[in-house]
Structure 1
Amino acid sequence: MILVLLPLLLLTLHTAVNALLLRRPRREATTGERVAVLLPLRDEAARVTPCLRSLLAQRGVPELTVHVLDDGSTDGTADVVRAVAGDRVRLHTGAPLPPGWLGKPHACRQLADLAGDVDVLVFVDADVVLAADAVAGAVDLLRRSRTGLLSPYPKIVGAGRLVQPLLQWSWLTFLPLRGMERSPRPSLAAAGGQWLVLDRSAYQRAGGHAAVRDEILEDIALARAVKRAGGRIALADGSRLATCRMYDSWRELTDGYAKSLWASFGSATGAAAVVAMLLLLYVVPLLALPWIALFAYLLGVTGRVLAARATGGRAFPDALAHPVSVVLFACLIARSFHRRRHRRLSWRGRPV
């Protein structure tokens, strides 16, 4: 059991190093490039208003256009867009979903085509609210990092405080950020689709969203496609410039995770290996001798605190429940595979 403590210590140190190296967009940046912000919507009438208002308030980007695509909404989403933004955004009606495509990749592909001849594409989800200099800061960092795809991770708010922080913690703990940027390996890639910034030419070389048309995790698949085409990618902390309310209730969270977790590990065997590793490192040692249990627990909590401090999250008391978070995450993975096996996965009224 004592042998588990060394990997735990190394992983916590790795979290600390990544937290120090994590890229962050600058405040008050400006850019003269032609930038298109692209917002896909499907039944988002209840939550899109704050996002739209934040897009209309962007500064430091004189050559900015905002394109919104209503992807078959039935709740009056388009009417809300017109009421909030008027003619200050370009509202488009989405085409029917063709065979072989999932909804979000299809909506994003249409938006990229509608953006015209721009230099940078900025994809934003409806649950994201940007600070006034967020787009300018992200484009500036895209260029300074010399990457084709930048994923500035927003601050996650709303339901799921026991589970949601594991997103940032996981890539800070297990992913070598600078190594990911330098490595040409597509398998070494991560991205968050809530807010993605891409060089237009890198996006086109990668095949755009057509290359990931049937991918549940189209954000990570797109990052891998950029790498395959010879481009570089980077993760960044966008918590000072963006918030994202992914879910408003535990039920929404479990449905959302069920939709995609099964696709996160390559196979059921891969998922089982990840779950076993997490439980072995962060839960099983708590059953050992008291001093081993205490040391293991403190290392896990320290990693969570480091991740929270680096990404704008709440460190306490959330980090103190880290073993509980790991167990809940394992249960969500099992639920996702169970629902997929029984063909019960859907999202926004479409089968997955």
Structure 2
Amino acid sequence: MTALIALALGVAVLTGHTLVNATRWLRRPAAPPGEVTEPVAVLLPLRDEAERVGPCLRALLDQRAVPGLRIVVLDDGSTDGTPDVVRAIVGDDPRVTLLTGAAPPPGWLGKPYACWQLATRADPAATVLVFVDADVVLTPYAVAAAVTELRSADVTLLSAYPRIVVATAADRLVQPLLQWLWLTFLPLRAMERSPRPSLAAAGGQFLAVDRAGYLRAGGHAAVAGRVLEDIELARTVKRAGGRIALADASRLADCRMYADWRQLRDGYSKSLWATFGHPGAAAVVVALLLLLYTAPPLLVVAALSTGSVPAALVAAAAYLLGVAGRVVTARATGGRWWPDALAHPVSVVFLGWLTLRSYHLRKRRRLSWRGRPVS
């Protein structure tokens, strides 16, 4: 019983931390009262995005309150007609430049190299670079809000997390874990104040950076071979003396990351090994997550089968506290909580399986993404 109480208390502490992060420290950019006065370059890397670049690009063309906005699009070796789709949407809009990307040289992965080409070929007058992925659809004041928050927070890099759109059962099980993990385990206030590179997180879907600070840190050239180039870029910025911040942009942007289960599975598999680093560390973290969030409902059943009602009540409390953490996260980031949060133990099992798969495929050098190997 003592161990069970300790488990419930551990979950309670973590859920309490989620609540504090969500209600006190989580930044929420909003449309600014006036226009952004500095020049801004929005950078959009594309590789085989013909089917979904349309909404993203139209939303970029509809941005308001940023009179100095320029959009730079880079086609990274697409074979599905992506450049033709871009040209059809853009027409002769002078704000948009379409570039043809080069193949990544040795030591580079595709996404960092595409972003680096965009950053180095954007208008030199632009003082802020905003990286956007093709699966992100912005509201009309999203760029203005992100740039304003970047400046008011006095940080070098602002990672604005969009609302994750879920459509399938797999989406609903796995995707909400993105926000839940950093809201639960990352002290947001300490992350902003601490110079420690290890205390960093970022999402590359919607990222605003001060250009001078970005270049001082080495930009994407400093993370050329990194699978998680967004997190590594945040760490590199810190190493160069810059500051970073996370923000909830669920009212500013939507993102449907993967179209189906296969894409979701392969997308997480290519990068989870890089999230945890050493396999031993991954094993410890996954085991702890399973103990805290998957074991409680199983212990409820076990306790009831032996007639131990007090133990069943404590285990049920641990389970419900874990569910509460998911509810807090969903409400804070524009996600869906009912009834998805009730399946939180199953979500953690899926995360463990995807992590195991990621290490397995990496060991056998079988990881790839968008037709390119991931080393």
Pair in the same fold by TM > 0.5: yes
In the alignment, which residue of structure 2 is the partner of 1:18? 21
> Offset of 1:264 from its aligned partner?
0.3
Say which one has the larger Rg.
Answer: 2
Query: 1 CA distance for matches of 2:153 and 2:334?
Result: 21
**Equivalent residue pairs, number:** 352
Task: Tell me the residue number matched to 1:224.
Answer: 235
Looking at structure 2, the residues matched to 270 and 235 of structure 1 have their Cα atoms a distance apart, in angstroms, of 25
Residue matched to 2:154:
146
| 2:49 equivalent in structure 1 | 44
The answer as to 2:286 corresponding to 1:275 is yes
Of residues 79, 104, 109, the one that matches 1:97 is 104
- Aligned-pair CA distance for 1:14: 0.5
> Which residue number in structure 2 is paired with residue 210 of structure 1?
221
Q: Deviations 1:173-216 (Å, cap 9, x if unpaired)?
A: 00000100000000000000111100001101110000000000
Q: Tell me the SS of whatever aligns to 2:251.
A: coil
Q: Which amino acid aligns with 2:45?
A: P
Return the alpha-carbon distance in structure 1 between the equivalents of residues 92 and 214 of structure 2: 28
SS of 1:73 mapped into structure 2: coil
Q: 2:313 aligns with which of 274, 291, 298?
A: 291
Determine if the alignment matches structure 1 residue 340 to structure 2 residue 362: yes
Output the amino acid matched with 1:145: A
User: Among residues 255, 258, 268, which one is paired with 2:266 in the alignment?
Assistant: 255
In the alignment, which of 46, 54, 57 is matched to residue 62 of structure 2?
Answer: 57
Contact residue 286 and residue 292 of structure 1 kept, 8 A: no
Give the letter aligned to residue 323 of structure 2: V
1:251 Cα offset (Å): 1.0
> Who is 2:116 aligned against?
109
CA deviation map 1:28-48 (0-9, x unaligned)? 453111100000000100110
> In 2, Cα distance between the equivalents of 1:316 and 1:123?
32
Structure 1 unaligned segments of length 5 or more: list them.
Answer: none
TM-superposed deviation, 1:315: 1.1
Task: Return the letter of the residue paired with 1:16.
Answer: L
Alpha-carbon shift at residue 286 of structure 1 (Å): 2.5
Deviations 1:233-291 (A, max 9, x none): 00000000000010111111001011111110111111111101101111123333311
1:351 corresponds to: 373
List aligned pairs for 1:166-245, cutoff 5 A. Answer: 166-245=177-256
**Distance in 2, Cα, partners of 1:261 & 1:251:** 16
Contact 2:228/2:274 (CA < 8 Å) preserved in 1? yes
- Deviations 1:110-154 (Å, cap 9, x if unpaired)? 000111321100000000000000000000000111100000100
> Could you say what secondary structure the match of 1:197 adopts?
strand
Matched, 1:315 2:337: yes
Residue 302 (structure 2) aligns with = none
Separation in structure 1 between the aligned mates of residue 206 and residue 292 of structure 2, nearest angstrom: 31
The 8 Å contact of residues 260 and 336 in structure 1, kept in 2 or not, is answered as: yes
Cα displacement (A) at 1:337: 0.8
User: Does the alignment pair 1:121 with 2:129?
Assistant: yes
Q: Report the Cα distance in structure 2 between the residues aligned to 1:317 and 1:286, rounded to whole angstroms.
A: 16
Identity %: 68
Distance 2:339 2:297 in 1: 19
Whole-angstrom CA distance in 2 between matches of 1:273 and 1:57: 46
2:173 is paired with a residue whose SS is coil
Alpha-carbon RMSD across the aligned residues, in angstroms, is 0.9
What TM-score do the two structures reach when normalised by structure 1? 0.99
Matched with 1:300 is: 322
The normalised TM-score by structure 2 is 0.93
* 1:2 equivalent in structure 2: 5
Q: CA offsets, 1:291-341, max 9 Å, x none?
A: 122101110010000000000001111101000100111011111111111
